[in-house]
Structure 1
Amino acid sequence: MLVLHSVGAVGGRVALWAEDSRLPARVVGRLPRATVRHPFAVGGADLRALLDGGEVGELRLRLPSFASGPVASPELVREEPVRRGALRWREWVVPVLWWDGAVPARLPDCRFGVSAKFLGEAVEFGLDLVRRGRVLPVIDGDRTARWRAALSGVDSLRHAALRTSTPASFLAADPTANGGGSAAGVSVDVLTGVLDRLVDREVRRLLSGTTDGADAADGEVVGRWLAALVGDPSVDHAVGEVDRLRHVLGEWAARGLRELPVRTCFRLGSPDQGDPRQEDWRVEFLLQAVDEPSVLVSAERLWRRGDTALRRWVDRPEEVLLGDLGRAGRLYPALDRALAAKRPVELVLDVEGAYDFLTHAPLLAQAGFGVLLPAWWRQPNRLGLVLDATGRGTAGTVAKESELGLRALVDYRWELALGDERLTEAELGALAKAKVPLIRLRGRWVHVDRKRLAAGLAFLGRGGGRMSAARVLLHSGLHPDDAGLPLPLNGVRADGWLGDLLSGEVEHRLEPVEDPPGLVAELRPYQRRGLAWLAFLDRLGLGACLADDMGLGKTVQLLALEAHNRRYGRRPPTLLVCPVSVVGNWQREAARFTPGLRVRVHHGADRALDADCDLVITTYAVLARDASALAGVAWDRVVLDEAQNVKNSATRQSEVVRSLPARHRVALTGTPVENRLAELWSIMDFVNPGLLGSINTFRARFAVPVERHHDEDAAVRLRRITGPFVLRRLKTDPKVITDLPDKIEVKQLCTLTAEQASLYQAVVDDMFQRIAEAEGIKRRGLVLATMSRLKQVCNHPAQLLRDGSRVAGRSGKLARLEEVLEEALADGDKALCFTQFTEFGSLVAPHLAARFDTEVLFLHGGTPKRARDEMVRRFQDPGGPSVFVLSLKAGGTGLNLTAATHVIHLDRWWNPAVEDQATDRAFRIGQRDHVQVRKFVCVGTLEERIDLMIEEKRDLAQLVVGAGEDWLTELSTGELHRLFALSGEAVGG
């Protein structure tokens, strides 16, 4: 991955350079005084190949650096971390590409740094100035003819805003080192230089081949100057004459750009602002103070008695008014009628004249005049179509199956509307007869485009008919071009259950659902609303995506739905597909909250499908392998937990889940969109197949406009379609957060990989061979050593083996950690990850940094105090790193880390007091958000069994369990066998 940067240099030239994450961050030790080459900058030839042009060169740039090398830009993902140290400014030789013009909007395998984005804004500003003719010809001090930007009014403000936002990286070229003057003025001059160079080049390109001006005065200084403006910029003439011309041009430019402290404003008043019987429109003349826009003085008041309010800015405001009216008359000739009066105060117009003024208003505003227009013109109610659908099923009655679901047919008809207000036949007739696009309607003036009105009336002539409910929903989010409509779609309306879906407030209009009898839990209010929403869509046969934030109880809501549906008798089974790391968690939660459900787990080497139950739990991996067997069952419901696992619609498991037969489909995920909108399409196509069309159609209608062009209208249309089927609640929502406890503690059950299980059993066998002959202290030492080794196995094989082998894909606990952090980071949250093993932290921290393209802090016993304090400061900073890995001993006490809202105990200390102390680094005074605490436990191992022992005697454990694990060494050999034994459910399928 490359990151492209730009830098302004002497003479307004712009250079491009890039960093490459694939190049090694060469450690150079202590930097020499002499300038050295940037270690991971892209070579000049590669830059030219990437951009297909430009002149290769070199620049010396002053960049923030550590002792070992330059700091990588925030956009660069480094595969090899640079050794840290004191931050300082250092000079580096960087290959560059001298570049003229705009940078392409997209480049392959390349991100844009902040300076490259800034260059794009500056170039667009310069091109806009040229397009609008905001340029002036000048002669520079070196007797060269140039075109310069003519900045005044709004353009001056835009230029000032650009200069204020100039990133430091754009100013990194040392002007002294690169042949320029002092470095002090670089931040002031560089943007102006870049703009002037761009403007001059662009105007010359447009005037290429123009020589009429030079021929008119050939041989004279003016003729030489005119020729230099389109050709060679050097003005080859006597020095004295060139200097006099330069002086004259400077005075002329100063007069042209002189900004008066007051300006003339034109305010249009419609007839309804006065006597309703009055049909005249009036353009009122006013003077306005530029620095204080609230100071407005009418021309009538000015002429009647003069006005002292404007005297502080200008001596003779009357002359300003007359001069401005004369200039404005060149843009809007109708003003000449007002100038016939000795003291003009207003211009009286009829409705045709008012519309003519409205069309000229943008020209007047662009020329620097103030234009005040009625609110109905500034925020018009656009003419568009409304789709009105009528069905027979309603939300409060039992409807036939054919009247429900996305395939149900409904009656429809089209209507014309202004904004949200549908037009009657009489109003449509009045609009059709109007001679100008302005007409008074329902007591106010509206603007209607006659061509669009004719197209709308012709479309209404087609009549109505019947269409599917899915098509009605799709219309609610389609662009007019996609829907084949001649006008914008101002709204879609329906009655009954379809109207409830279209309202966008389904959750708030649902009938309450009581906690079902088979549920052994008291649902919180927001969970009860979630159950009602799920039950509502279930009854209609419509799929649902429950996208609640993690920690809000998606599991219990789904189990409550199962209990709700089965309260009157048996139904076909539900298939639940989840990651292998949470199979045990689902099994235990089902036993805890819905003990009446008959649950089967379909995974493992000797698995056999048993559908004679209520709930079958399987994994995504097993689903892909057993696709034909699972597809042979008529499931009542198919549920995807952690549904982001099917975000890639082209994978085998995504294809399989979409092919499973089911009456109802539910997706559970805290991150319905992680990186691309295509992920949402994949989940929604499982939930309600065909709702969003094909993936190619979806990309064209939504993904490309939103992701590439940031089209807010397309995003709104997409939310309108998917909104009824996605329920998303956040911890930060006041309506939800009041229902939550201050600290949410969760046991996160994980499984072992096959490699971990093999190592685990080998460690256990070795211990029991050696313990048979050991007694006393030796026996206790063996037990403690074995427990430590088993915990290392549960963490990761590489921790036990210490062989430097790869980290990814070998640990069920690490896989679950990645899932939790992925959701937390997507929500913008911060997390603390505690481990009692420094070596495990040293494995986890760099792996997470590479996995999530983000910096991960790591604090352990060997961290110096100064570095420790700096880590805490950076983590507490809102813009600092979001993941902090800490060894339990080093980071479990004495730190204030209230920026974290997630605390994860990767391995257990098995002393609640010690764990609580670590948790309290985040959950303490100063913490404003609720904290979620996750304690990772490998199911079917000693981790789960010791956790159960502590939970059964938690109150006593608080008193009698020591700071370590010595109390476990006194167990008998039989008790140790039961404690250490590896059960079948420990291994993920």
Structure 2
Amino acid sequence: MWVVHALCDSGGRLLVWAEDSERPARLPGRAPAGVLAHPFAVDGEELLGAVPVDGVVESAELALPSFASAPVASPELVRDPLTAGAAPRGKLRLRHWRVGAVSIPPAVLPELLAAELPGCRIGSDARFLGELADFAESLVTGGRVIPSLLFEGDRPAARWIPAMAGSDSARFVALRDAMPHALRAASGDAPEQVLHAALNALVDDLARTKLTRGLVAAEGPTAAWLNALTGEPHFAGDRAQLRTLARQLESWHTGLAGQSPLRTCFRLHAPEDDEPDWIVEFMLQAVDDPGVLISAQDVWADNDHVLHRWVDQPQELLLAELGRASRICPELDAALRSTHPTELVLDTEGAYEFLSRAAHLDQAGFAVLLPSWWGRSQRQLGLKLNATSTGTAGAVTKESGIDKNALIDYRWELALGNETLTQDELAELAAAKVPLVRMRGRWVQVDRKLLAAGLAMLEQDATGQMTALDLLKQAGGEGEEQRPLPVVEVNATGWLGELMSGQADQHLEPVDPPTGFGATLRPYQRRGLAWLAFLNRLGLGGCLADDMGLGKTVQLLALEALSRQEESRPPTLLVCPMSVVGNWQREAERFAPGLRVHVHHGGRRLSGEDLRDEVERYDLVITTYPLAARDAEALREIRWERVVLDEAQNIKNSNSRQAKAVRGLSARQRIALTGTPVENRLAELWSIMDFANPGILGSLSTFRARYAVPVERDGDTDAAARLRRVTGPFVLRRVKTDPAVITDLPDKIEMKQLCNLTSEQATLYQAVVDDMLARIAESEGMERRGLVLATMSKLKQVCNHPAQLLGDGSPLPGRSGKLARLEELLESVLAEGDKALVFTQFAEFGGHLVPHLSARFDTEVPFLHGGTPKKARDAMVERFQDPEGPRIFLLSLKAGGTGLTLTAANHVIHLDRWWNPAVEDQATDRAFRIGQRRDVQVRKLTCIGTLEEKIDRMIEDKKALAQLVVGSGENWLTELSTQQLRELVTLDAEAIGA
């Protein structure tokens, strides 16, 4: 596998070179002083034969991040410097290496990058130059290039150079900030110098490909220069005359847009109160410091001596620039009739014309300052949907004709933001000559086409009737693509209004389960049962999202017991993780012994007609997510009364096989049970809600545009609030920390246990950090994210124990500060006669801990992980819950963090951090749940001075986002800048123990 790189040297040449993952057979030893051949580099002749473009084989000297014995391989080469064998060690530094390279014409770079190169990957530096080539192409095709005369050594050369202004300059700055360090390996110049050299080379070569013949047939230095702009750039001529021409061209360049240190700025002032006039104020703005603004009045008064630090004649500059701007915005001609123009007075129609041309002025290199509402207010025009229903939520179980198919009266209205427009205001908007109207004390821009479409809609469909379910879908976004305007608000009265408020459970009378139910429900559980029964009566699905340990299982079983009082009900299908099948069986037998329960699992499970006949004999059929996907066709043939998903986060990926399988099941009602409806992305919530009530949040693309992108990317609290309102009717969420929910649960005491690294751990930690920082600067996109996550995992392994990272099966004692602290904690737990749960996200490391802890404390240490069979899991849980059972229970976070009741333990130890508060809390709630009689002590082991401690501080900020509606996973770490990552992973001095 080759990795193809491209870079630009100080002379503007584009060089291509490549690394080969198959060479060398062994790394060179410690290199002596001087420049050595790069050990991974492909021979120049071999490279020339592989690339589909013409070029010249050359040799290049590159300054690359290196260990003492070898350069750091690029991330795309997939080399791991920590693997056994030829693993370079030592401190990273820049070292010079010689590589074989191919010099190519800049204009053919896009062709090279687009070509199919079997067995090759494109390096981040080459991809970056491809982006720069796209920028150069836009400059050339847009005519934003100018001819110049340069002296390269003693040889005069005709070159095309970019004439950047406005958005071009901003794009150049963005490219400069994103430039990979590897692009500077051949020159060592500052980033801006390297980027200018590369851009100039690309612009010059691309411009020449557009001009294939000479421009003039005359003779003389000027004619020779003009002709050299198309063919060979170097030419001969009288040096004195050419230097004079070069000075004249340089003076011309300085006067062009974007080349002067000052540029003209236009600031638009909207009229206040009843004033009719709009004012466009003229100013000069410093290009390098946009905060420096000088009014045209000061320019003409010449009383601002600071101006002369930039230009000698600011008045002439202002007049010339206003004249140039008038070609784009003819309204400026009126101001130019004055000898000292300072402003332009406009009416509303003229102001709208100016606003419409603002983007063109910016593109031409002028600064334009506009009112903050411009460009946003047209999105405020929307639709309001008002509906009327009769009855109340409390009466829904008593009144017939109140369900999701009940017809309700509706009325559409037009609104600006959340303000409903009156008929007079609509008439004023319709009569306005321009889309700029002052309304309710502020100026708004209204898209006239959208207004006309909205008015046309109201003429055809202002009032009518629809089903309650259709109205709920309208609120969620269904049909948004077909409507001329977005729906900004949905209101309803009566029982439907109580449902849409998201507080229907507060309006319902608490419900008790039928006689014979084996549990006394707490008040909040009775309200939860009433809410589930309410949705059941309406025929709507929902998500019971109570905190772990608040009894979602018992509430669902109570609903099932209520439902079974009605005759001729089809069975309910319950889909859950394999680890909790046994728990559901035992809980059903304990609380609802009247329910007939069947487990659809194992090699002898039924299918086809046999399965259909069999399930008719039962009330509750339990299966697992993998089997729901595998047996989807057979399960689809059965009409279920209800489909229930336990740990519903298992369908968070809506495109997964099991998510598609459960959405395809036929049922009168669908219920999702999960304490974490959102872990990482809002799309997970869409998947769960679309299962419970298909189409209730619109299509996934609509949901992303309306909620996910504004909330996740922009932190839009308004969008988050809208989402809470829309999902509120179908999500019931209670937390254990709410005193109104539960009063007799003991306290949960969380503690951070700080541990030191041993010297061995610190050495390995630093090696991993050095490797990542060397590779991260030259990677981007998915490669960068993968590299960050892989490095984070390695650093967590180092913090746990050196043997975990090395994977060499070496002894555990005396080598890890965290393991030493774990042993101290467990010794204290056992001395007090208590029990402890120990969670690790690394199942393989858990396997190494079992024999060590068993020998250390002379006790049985069961280990539950993803490979533990169902019967063994159930037996482990049962034995641990027994007062005489094992005192230490080791669990992998993924397999043991959900669905289990382990209240025999009153200590929870998180050996390594998952960095997702929701996942850690789920695991803790195995012990901190109903049935726990003692305070639960939770200890999270964190290595001081490492990324574990620093990320722990960052997690506190992420928890606030979870409250907004978004969970927090590890992927946010991959979006940190390189500098932020450097600060995050740097090992502090206090990390190493004495």
Aligned counterpart in structure 1 of residue 145 of structure 2, from 129, 135, 139: 135
Aligned counterpart in structure 1 of residue 216 of structure 2, from 188, 206, 214: 214
The corresponding residue for 2:182 is 169
Aligned counterpart in structure 2 of residue 584 of structure 1, from 562, 582, 589: 582
Is 1:659 paired with 2:665? yes
Aligned counterpart in structure 2 of residue 86 of structure 1, from 86, 89, 95: 89
How far 1:394 sits from its partner (Å)?
6.8
Structure 1 residues 506 and 126: alpha-carbon distance in aligned structure 2, compared to 1, 3 A threshold: farther
SS of the residue corresponding to residue 203 of structure 1 reads: helix
How far 1:148 sits from its partner (Å)?
1.0
Aligned ranges 1:718-797 → 2 under 5 Å: 723=727, 741-742=748-749
- Letter of the structure 2 residue corresponding to residue 506 of structure 1: G
The corresponding residue for 2:548 is 553
**Cα distance in 2 for residues equivalent to 1:653 and 1:863:** 42
Tell me if structure 2 keeps the 8 A contact 1:829–1:901.
no
Q: Which moved more, 1:536-545 or 1:299-308?
A: 299-308
Structure 1 residues 151 and 509: alpha-carbon distance in aligned structure 2, compared to 1, 3 A threshold: farther
How far 1:397 sits from its partner (Å)?
4.6
Structure 1 residues 306 and 462: alpha-carbon distance in aligned structure 2, compared to 1, 3 A threshold: same
- Letter of the structure 2 residue corresponding to residue 495 of structure 1: A
**Cα distance in 2 for residues equivalent to 1:395 and 1:58:** 83
How far 1:29 sits from its partner (Å)?
4.8
Aligned counterpart in structure 1 of residue 350 of structure 2, from 348, 353, 356: 353
**Cα distance in 1 for residues equivalent to 2:88 and 2:734:** 39
Q: Which moved more, 1:285-294 or 1:160-169?
A: 285-294
**Cα distance in 1 for residues equivalent to 2:344 and 2:602:** 87
**Cα distance in 2 for residues equivalent to 1:737 and 1:264:** 66
TM-superposition CA deviations, 1:609-638 (whole Å, max 9, x none): 566665432234555459647854643333
- Letter of the structure 2 residue corresponding to residue 661 of structure 1: A
The corresponding residue for 2:621 is 616
Larger relative contact order (CA 8 Å, sep ≥ 6): 2
TM-superposition CA deviations, 1:139-182 (whole Å, max 9, x none): 2324332211234676556534533432223334xx3xxxxxxx
Structure 1 residues 588 and 65: alpha-carbon distance in aligned structure 2, compared to 1, 3 A threshold: farther
**Cα distance in 2 for residues equivalent to 1:951 and 1:652:** 32
The corresponding residue for 1:28 is 26
**Cα distance in 2 for residues equivalent to 1:529 and 1:54:** 76
Tell me if structure 1 keeps the 8 A contact 2:30–2:68.
no
How far 1:660 sits from its partner (Å)?
4.1
The corresponding residue for 1:815 is none
Tell me if structure 2 keeps the 8 A contact 1:511–1:532.
no
The corresponding residue for 1:267 is 267
TM-superposition CA deviations, 1:246-270 (whole Å, max 9, x none): 3432343244468666655433333
SS of the residue corresponding to residue 461 of structure 1 reads: helix
The corresponding residue for 2:908 is none
- Letter of the structure 2 residue corresponding to residue 208 of structure 1: L
Is 1:126 paired with 2:136? yes
Aligned ranges 1:780-929 → 2 under 5 Å: 858=807, 861-862=810-811, 906=846, 909=850
Aligned counterpart in structure 2 of residue 388 of structure 1, from 382, 385, 390: 385
Instruction: Identify unmatched segments of 5+ residues in structure 1.
Output: 176-182, 746-821, 846-855, 873-884, 895-899, 919-932, 959-989
TM-score (norm 2): 0.62
**Cα distance in 1 for residues equivalent to 2:119 and 2:509:** 51
How far 1:68 sits from its partner (Å)?
9.8
- Letter of the structure 2 residue corresponding to residue 279 of structure 1: P
TM-superposition CA deviations, 1:787-811 (whole Å, max 9, x none): xxxxxxxxxxxxxxxxxxxxxxxxx
Tell me if structure 2 keeps the 8 A contact 1:599–1:616.
yes
Instruction: Identify unmatched segments of 5+ residues in structure 2.
Output: 607-613, 753-785, 829-838, 889-994
Tell me if structure 2 keeps the 8 A contact 1:519–1:563.
no
Aligned ranges 1:325-340 → 2 under 5 Å: 325-340=322-337
Q: Which moved more, 1:382-391 or 1:718-727?
A: 718-727
**Cα distance in 1 for residues equivalent to 2:858 and 2:261:** 65
The corresponding residue for 2:403 is 404
The corresponding residue for 1:462 is 460
The corresponding residue for 1:179 is none
Q: Which moved more, 1:40-49 or 1:184-193?
A: 40-49
TM-superposition CA deviations, 1:64-92 (whole Å, max 9, x none): 56799875655676799843441556758
The corresponding residue for 1:202 is 206
**Cα distance in 2 for residues equivalent to 1:562 and 1:43:** 74
Structure 1 residues 171 and 543: alpha-carbon distance in aligned structure 2, compared to 1, 3 A threshold: farther
SS of the residue corresponding to residue 101 of structure 1 reads: helix
Aligned counterpart in structure 2 of residue 145 of structure 1, from 142, 146, 158: 158
Aligned counterpart in structure 2 of residue 506 of structure 1, from 502, 509, 517: 502
How far 1:600 sits from its partner (Å)?
4.4
**Cα distance in 2 for residues equivalent to 1:686 and 1:427:** 42
**Cα distance in 2 for residues equivalent to 1:832 and 1:892:** 21
Structure 1 residues 577 and 4: alpha-carbon distance in aligned structure 2, compared to 1, 3 A threshold: farther
TM-superposition CA deviations, 1:523-575 (whole Å, max 9, x none): 899x9998887666545433345678xxx528942442332564687465532
The corresponding residue for 2:781 is none
Tell me if structure 2 keeps the 8 A contact 1:542–1:688.
yes
How far 1:495 sits from its partner (Å)?
1.4
TM-superposition CA deviations, 1:452-485 (whole Å, max 9, x none): 44344334332344455565555556699x7334
Tell me if structure 2 keeps the 8 A contact 1:381–1:419.
no
TM-superposition CA deviations, 1:949-977 (whole Å, max 9, x none): 5654479969xxxxxxxxxxxxxxxxxxx
SS of the residue corresponding to residue 351 of structure 2 reads: helix
**Cα distance in 1 for residues equivalent to 2:886 and 2:677:** 40
Structure 1 residues 55 and 380: alpha-carbon distance in aligned structure 2, compared to 1, 3 A threshold: farther
Tell me if structure 2 keeps the 8 A contact 1:24–1:39.
no
Structure 1 residues 365 and 390: alpha-carbon distance in aligned structure 2, compared to 1, 3 A threshold: same
SS of the residue corresponding to residue 184 of structure 1 reads: coil
Aligned ranges 1:647-686 → 2 under 5 Å: 651=657, 654-655=660-661, 658-666=664-672, 668=674, 686=691
The corresponding residue for 2:435 is 437
Structure 1 residues 59 and 601: alpha-carbon distance in aligned structure 2, compared to 1, 3 A threshold: farther
- Letter of the structure 2 residue corresponding to residue 269 of structure 1: H
**Cα distance in 1 for residues equivalent to 2:669 and 2:603:** 29
Tell me if structure 2 keeps the 8 A contact 1:118–1:167.
yes
**Cα distance in 2 for residues equivalent to 1:529 and 1:71:** 62
Tell me if structure 1 keeps the 8 A contact 2:12–2:197.
yes
Structure 1 residues 424 and 730: alpha-carbon distance in aligned structure 2, compared to 1, 3 A threshold: same
**Cα distance in 1 for residues equivalent to 2:742 and 2:121:** 38
| Identity %, equivalent residues | 35
Is 1:191 paired with 2:188? no
Structure 1 residues 645 and 719: alpha-carbon distance in aligned structure 2, compared to 1, 3 A threshold: same
Structure 1 residues 94 and 349: alpha-carbon distance in aligned structure 2, compared to 1, 3 A threshold: same
The corresponding residue for 1:635 is 641
- Letter of the structure 2 residue corresponding to residue 267 of structure 1: R
Structure 1 residues 236 and 433: alpha-carbon distance in aligned structure 2, compared to 1, 3 A threshold: same
Let me know the Cα RMSD of the aligned residues.
6.3
Structure 1 residues 611 and 63: alpha-carbon distance in aligned structure 2, compared to 1, 3 A threshold: farther
Structure 1 residues 203 and 449: alpha-carbon distance in aligned structure 2, compared to 1, 3 A threshold: farther
**Cα distance in 1 for residues equivalent to 2:408 and 2:103:** 62
